[in-house]
Amino acid sequence: MDFSFSEEQQQLQDAIARFVQGDYSFERRHKILKSADGWSREVWQGLADLGVLAMNIPEADGGLGYGPIEALLAMQSAGPAMLCEPLLDSAVIATALVRDFGSPEQRAELLPAMGSGERIVVLAHTEAAGRGQAVWVETSAKKSGDGYVLSGHKAVVSLAPAADELLVSARVSGQPGDAEGVAVFRVAKDASGLALKPFKTLDGRRAADVVLADVKVPASSLLGAPTVSANVAIDRALDLGLAAVCAEALGVMEATVNATIEYLKTRQQFGQPIGRFQALQHRTADMLLHLEQSRSMAYLAAMHCNVADDTQRRKTLSAAKVVIGNACRFIGQQAVQLHGGMGMTEELNVSHFFKRLMAIELSFGDTDTHLQRFAALTQRDIPLAA
Amino acid sequence: MDLTFTPEEQAFREEVRAFVREKLPAALRHKVVNSLRLTRDDHVMWQRTLHERGWGGPGWPKEHGGPGWNAVQQYIFEEECASAGAPRLIPFGIKMVAPVIMAFGSPEQQKRFLPDISSARKWWCQGYSEPGSGSDLASLKTRAVRGLDKDGDHFIVNGQKTWTTLGQHADWIFCLVRTDPQAKAQRGISFLLIDMKSPGITVRPIITLDGAHEVNEVWFENVRVPAENLIGEENKGWTYAKFLLGHERSNIAGIGISKREIERLKRVAATEKKNGKPLLEDSLFSAKIAQIEVDLMALEMTNLRVLSDEANEKAPGPAASILKIKGTEIQQAITELLVAAVGPYALPYKAESESDEEGDIGPRYAAGLGAHYCNMRKLSIFGGSNEIQKNIISQQLLGL
């Protein structure tokens, strides 16, 4: 067993950490969030120059061909900066989907452009009634002439306003909740019938509800590699995203715990640093327990997100999301509490950590959803009668 | 032992319920039950409505224009108002400074200030906390120096207060100020009433993590305060402050609010779907609601026991701390489940949570929930953090 990272991995981690420390200060992020777009193309290009956007692209497609461990390191290092650019959405999830499920032509057209930062692609998949279950797709795709007509409503699609094009999942057959019958389509942002209702989320990012009212797309927009089903491809891309968001959460939680420890050492009350009070010491110790358990699960998730055995992979990722979801809530809430009134203010980073952790907990299926999925998957392992 | 309310108390409950049902405008109720932000006018309107009925100071004795209710009646009144979706009474005038003026103010001060409080003609805010003081209230530094000149006896106040809730609306502020810097921490403090229009006062907003402007910093730069605005004796302010904090505990458990919020949670969970079925039928989710409900039942019973002890003039012990800790934990737990119930639709941010108009993102009832959850994190921090409340409990238990 070896939990150390290679020199190359270490360098990647350091490069991103340096980049966000240098180019993504709290003030810079604040300014970017207040701008009309709410994200920065300049930062995006900076990330491209670092190679981060090409990390999940195979070398054959002009990328770096890294694996999930490198994604973990990148997301963890970027975590404390709480990037409002679509790193997770485009460079991890959409890239994985195009890579694993695109035709050779689609790969050739999209992957180099995504890796270089020229083209931003976001998967519009989640629907309100799905509550984080990947199979829940009500959006329909009906064959029409030599193309398809898409109708439906995608909920709270993170960073959709930043995208040049969307990958939209839609049902070609079956009912919502069915494990098969879904396809993925490339949809240009200016497609007729496509409406984005953009908004800010609590953590300051941009998202949109995506409404498809009879959007006509040509057959060539259908993503497809003949060997995998779209459901499996989406599931795997979302699992990579889940592992990546767990890594991001780890980075945010590390920063949150550090900021809290610093505050406990400096804030004086009743004539001493408040960190001298045992009640607060024990609370901080509990935060650290959550953090280390989360680190373990983030590693485990990264190591499992490419496992071919669906049950094994889903079980592990759900377990990671449960442990990390609970930790996000505990660490976020306690950091605010231990900062007292100051923790409630917009002025301190800790309140922004709190909101990002809250958003992460609610994304990719919340804690309850994954606890139930884990229970369903593990209870199958046990013989019910002796 | 009798756990029921008397027929008189039941009749009183019906009277309050009928009044609130008749007088509370539907639009205002809608805002309250959906955690949308209330304006100054909303609060003033409701306070005036109560005042016209003679209920403007629900905890006040008759001699000062109150209804003269006992603790149980006050409890019933607050519970009924909260469950009906009435705005909470802004406590700074009615529940904080007014009892101090009644107990320690001069007859002139009582005549001058009290009527404007119950009728909402004047809005009060609190000047206790200072940057760096937090729960260590007695460490406050705002300085008031007494002097006499041709314009009379006065104080000159310099310093800074913080976390001044709704101070942007206030006409008056009651302040703890240090009048004797040589005395031991709690001995040199005085209780001053200050007109917010006095030259030298600056109010600066603090934006909280839910994006709202609810609290403020208040700066005093050579603010002249007539000595007639001193409550009681100079340097005795700590006594009055402690008296005030004791009064703060009426309705501290927020039973009525929590009952209303649980109903809302169930409404939301009955509408939201999971696997095509109402979320309320999801066993994990419904078990979480049930856990909160049983905790609330226990807290309500504890609260009633405290009221009964008060009526029998038994020493309350650390009751206020218990009610505060459990009450705020329950309220916060409900906001967590509300957020979980709407999932990602808790994330779209509505500026100031002022409206939930149609055409917005997600279901209407989701509009204020994310910000509300964030805002409610304050409950375990303000009014003496829950950690401080636990210190109080353990000090009383251990006596060490």
User: Are the CB atoms for A47 and A64 separated by under 8 Å?
Assistant: no
Distance between CA A301 and CA A312 in Å, rounded? 11
Distance between CA A344 and CA B380 in Å, rounded? 11
When CB atoms are compared, the residue of B284, B380, B387 closest to A372 is B284
What's the pLDDT score for residue B3?
72
User: Where do you find CATH 1.10.540.10 in chain A?
Assistant: 7-119
Is the predicted pLDDT of residue B170 greater than 70, yes or no?
Answer: yes
A-chain CB neighbours of B385 within 8 Å are: 337, 340
What's the pLDDT score for residue A133?
79
Q: Residue A230 — very low, low, confident or very high, per pLDDT cuts 50/70/90? A: confident
> Is B242 a member of any domain?
no
Alpha-carbon distance values, A111 to A42, A62, B162 (Å): 20, 8, 53
Q: Which amino acid is at A108?
A: A
- How many Cβ pairs closer than 8 A exist between chain A and B? 131
CB spacing of A199 vs B348 below 8 angstroms: yes
> Which of A199, A202, A361 best tests the B interface by mutation, with the highest count of B CBs <10 A?
A202
Classified as helix, coil or strand, B281 is: helix
Q: Residue A3 — very low, low, confident or very high, per pLDDT cuts 50/70/90? A: confident
Are residue B146 and residue B203 in the same domain, yes or no? yes
CATH number of the domain enclosing B138 = 2.40.110.10
Are residue B155 and residue B268 in the same domain, yes or no? no
Are residue B188 and residue B308 in the same domain, yes or no? no
What's the pLDDT score for residue B367?
87
What's the pLDDT score for residue B247?
67
Are residue B193 and residue B319 in the same domain, yes or no? no
CATH architecture of A232-381: Up-down Bundle (1.20)
Handedness of CA A276, A279, A283, A285 (dihedral sign): positive
Please state the φ and ψ torsions of residue B170, each to the nearest 5 degrees: -80, 145
User: Regarding beta strands A147-158 and A206-218, do their DSSP bridges make them parallel or antiparallel, or are they unpaired?
Assistant: antiparallel
Q: Where are the beta strands (DSSP E) in A250-375?
A: 268-269, 272-273
CB spacing of A201 vs B343 below 8 angstroms: no
What's the pLDDT score for residue B309?
80
When CB atoms are compared, the residue of B274, B370, B381 closest to A341 is B381
- The 10s digit of each residue's pLDDT in A94-115 is 999 999 999 999 999 999 999 9
Classified as helix, coil or strand, A97 is: helix
User: Among all residues of chain B, which has the CA nearest to that of A339?
Assistant: B381
CB spacing of A207 vs B136 below 8 angstroms: no
Spell out the residues 6+ positions from residue B170 whose beta carbon is closer than 8 angstroms to its own: B92, B123, B124, B125, B164, B196
- Say if residue A383 is exposed, middle or buried (CB neighbours under 10 Å; 0-12, 13-18, 19+): exposed
User: Are the CB atoms for A154 and A137 separated by under 8 Å?
Assistant: no
The residue segments making up the domain with residue B201 are 124-236
Are residue B330 and residue B388 in the same domain, yes or no? yes
CB spacing of A269 vs B382 below 8 angstroms: no
User: Where do you find CATH 2.40.110.10 in chain A?
Assistant: 123-228
What's the pLDDT score for residue A224?
83
A-chain CB neighbours of B344 within 8 Å are: 126, 128, 155-156, 362-363
- The 10s digit of each residue's pLDDT in B181-209 is 998 878 999 999 999 999 999 999 999 99
Domain end residue (candidates: B236, B260, B282):
B236
When CB atoms are compared, the residue of A129, A199, A354 closest to B209 is A354
> Is B108 a member of any domain?
no
When CB atoms are compared, the residue of B163, B211, B387 closest to A279 is B387
- The 10s digit of each residue's pLDDT in A126-172 is 998 888 778 889 999 999 999 999 999 999 999 999 999 999 999 99
- The 10s digit of each residue's pLDDT in B315-347 is 667 888 999 999 999 999 999 999 999 999 999
A-chain CB neighbours of B362 within 8 Å are: 128, 155-156, 209
Distance between CA A253 and CA A332 in Å, rounded? 8
User: Are the CB atoms for A159 and A189 separated by under 8 Å?
Assistant: no
User: Where do you find CATH 1.20.140.10 in chain A?
Assistant: 232-381
- Say if residue B277 is exposed, middle or buried (CB neighbours under 10 Å; 0-12, 13-18, 19+): exposed
Alpha-carbon distance values, B80 to B4, B43, B297 (Å): 16, 17, 16
Are residue B83 and residue B168 in the same domain, yes or no? no
A383 against A183, higher pLDDT: A183
When CB atoms are compared, the residue of A126, A133, A209 closest to B361 is A209
Residue A79 to chain B, least CA–CA distance (Å): 19
Kindly indicate whether the domain formed by A123-228 is annotated with CATH number 2.40.110.10.
yes
Are residue B182 and residue B305 in the same domain, yes or no? no
Q: Residue A226 — very low, low, confident or very high, per pLDDT cuts 50/70/90? A: low
CB spacing of A126 vs B129 below 8 angstroms: no
CATH number of the domain enclosing B79 = 1.10.540.10
Distance between CA B240 and CA B175 in Å, rounded? 11
What's the pLDDT score for residue B352?
47
A138 against B308, higher pLDDT: A138
> Is B1 a member of any domain?
no
Q: Residue B2 — very low, low, confident or very high, per pLDDT cuts 50/70/90? A: confident
CB spacing of B134 vs A269 below 8 angstroms: yes
> In the predicted model, what is the mean pLDDT of residues B22-42?
94
A-chain CB neighbours of B377 within 8 Å are: 333, 336-337, 343-344, 354
CB spacing of B273 vs A199 below 8 angstroms: no
State the alpha helices, DSSP H only, in B5-138.
7-23, 26-33, 40-52, 71-84, 91, 98-104, 107-118
Please state the φ and ψ torsions of residue B178, each to the nearest 5 degrees: -90, 115
Q: Where are the beta strands (DSSP E) in chain A?
A: 121-124, 140-144, 147-158, 165-171, 182-188, 194-200, 206-218, 268-269, 272-273
> Is B158 a member of any domain?
yes
User: Regarding beta strands B143-149 and B152-161, do their DSSP bridges make them parallel or antiparallel, or are they unpaired?
Assistant: antiparallel
- The 10s digit of each residue's pLDDT in B33-73 is 999 989 999 999 999 999 999 999 999 999 999 999 988 89
Spell out the residues 6+ positions from residue B314 whose beta carbon is closer than 8 angstroms to its own: none
Is the predicted pLDDT of residue B241 greater than 80, yes or no?
Answer: yes
A-chain CB neighbours of B285 within 8 Å are: 368
What's the pLDDT score for residue B66?
96
The DSSP result for A12-60, as a single string, is: HHHHHHHHHHHH--HHHHHHHHHSSSSS-HHHHHHHHHHTGGGTTS-GG
A-chain CB neighbours of B393 within 8 Å are: none
What's the pLDDT score for residue B133?
85
Are residue B225 and residue B287 in the same domain, yes or no? no
User: Are the CB atoms for B123 and B170 separated by under 8 Å?
Assistant: yes
Distance between CA A39 and CA A45 in Å, rounded? 12
Average pLDDT value over all residues in chain B = 92
> In total, how many domains does chain B have?
3
Q: In CATH, what number does A7-119 get?
A: 1.10.540.10
Q: What residues form DSSP beta bridges with B37?
A: none
First to last CA, chain B: 34
- Joined together, the tokens standing for residue A316 give 């592990």
- The 10s digit of each residue's pLDDT in A264-314 is 999 998 889 999 999 999 999 999 999 999 999 999 999 999 898 989 999
Q: Residue B157 — very low, low, confident or very high, per pLDDT cuts 50/70/90? A: very high
CB spacing of B381 vs A345 below 8 angstroms: no
- The 10s digit of each residue's pLDDT in B75-102 is 999 999 999 999 999 999 999 999 999 9
B307 against B170, higher pLDDT: B170
Are residue B267 and residue B359 in the same domain, yes or no? yes
CB spacing of B387 vs A358 below 8 angstroms: no
- The 10s digit of each residue's pLDDT in A19-52 is 999 889 999 999 999 999 999 999 999 999 999 9
Distance between CA A274 and CA B66 in Å, rounded? 43
Least confident of A1-10, A14-23, A264-273, A362-371: A1-10
Are residue B231 and residue B311 in the same domain, yes or no? no
- Say if residue B351 is exposed, middle or buried (CB neighbours under 10 Å; 0-12, 13-18, 19+): exposed
CATH number of the domain enclosing B354 = 1.20.140.10
> Is B109 a member of any domain?
no
